[in-house]
A and B are shown apart, each in its own frame.
Chain A
Amino acid sequence: MDLLELFHNNPGLSDTTEGVARRIGRTASEIEADVKDLVDLDLLVKGRFGKLDVVSFNTNKDKRIQETISNQIKRRAD
């Protein structure tokens, strides 16, 4: 949840796994499983740049999810 909140609030964040972990006071190994889950959900994109792993946010996917949620709430209210 911390990870999702971090990227949702900071879509311009694109960092190494270690760099991302540091920003929420954790270590790379501690967030590895969460990163994998969010990558599987297509919310995070993990790529390779040179020798380093880079994790960034899939803003389009985030936008689509938010739209879906907002539409569902709207439909229920109608």
Chain B
Amino acid sequence: MVDRVRTGVTQLDEMLRGGFISGDAVLVAGGTGTGKTTLGLQYLVNGATQFGENGIFVSFEQMPNQIYRDAKNFGWDLKRLEQENKLRLICTSPELLRETHGTKHFLDEPIRQVKPRRIVIDSLSNLSMYIEEKEVRKEAYRLLNYFKTKQISSLSTWEAPETIGQSLLTDVGPSRVADCIILMRLVEIDSTMRKALVVLKLRGSDHDKALREYNITSQGITVAQPFTGFESIITGVPRRVQLPRSF
């Protein structure tokens, strides 16, 4: 029986057959506005408030005051969690995470102080701002393995262009080094933008293969039922399934 790390998003945990596998490196890929950062924050807040697991949120682009404000809109008081030493918000540049000081890693000290079981990197794709594309996978591998050696379950977001399809995603960035990949994307149905989520990969475990609709509500992300009556949802432009005519 493998140890699971629950996200606290009930339907997503069901899709994952109980949650992420403890110590795994999870990649949440999707375009802008799909809710990757929200899912990352929700994962940490639920960990700290429901499962007694402290967390660290590393942001490369968004400023802390922006993150505090956005989280508050979902009812998450990050400052209080920080005061209780259940959460740490770190805003820095990817180059510092690549640097070592003797044998020390930039995150050694906050990890020692907070003792996290969970960490969110938002976003791993920012690595490509500082290093060549071919080096991204290597650096991501190094970083994700650093968390694994510390027995921390990591969730990294990855900015994937909306035009990307499933086949392409599995060949870009750090997708090969990730143990679990969740794809979030916008889909156009009847001239309305809706959101679809799928678990593309969960190494060493069965998982739900269905594409499910999800919503960003005032309480965070909620996952709904699988899309029915459509095909090619992953392309972002689904087609209605033609039902066979009865004779």
Contacts and interface: CB of A to CB of B under 8 A. Distances in A.
Nearest to B104: A49
Contact of B93 (A11, A19, A48): A19
Given A23-B63, A49-B99, A12 B106 contact: no
A68 B231 CA distance: 65
Interface in B86-104: 88-93, 95-96, 99-101
Interface of A is mostly: mixed
Contacts of A16: 93, 95-96
B65 interface: yes
A49 B106 contact: yes
Contacts, number: 48
Nearest to B102: A50
A19 B99 CA distance: 14
Interface residues of B, number: 16
Interface in A10-47: 10-16, 18-19, 23
User: What band does the interface of chain A fall in when counting residues whose beta carbon is under 8 Å from B?
Assistant: 10 to 19
A52 B65 CA distance: 25
Nearest to A13: B91
A10 B59 CA distance: 12
A14 B82 CA distance: 16
Nearest to B61: A23
A39 to B, nearest CB: 18
A9 to B, nearest CB: 5
Contacts of B90: 12, 14
A74 interface: no
Interface of B: 63-65, 82, 88-93, 95-96, 99-101, 106
Interface of A: 9-16, 18-19, 23, 48-52, 54
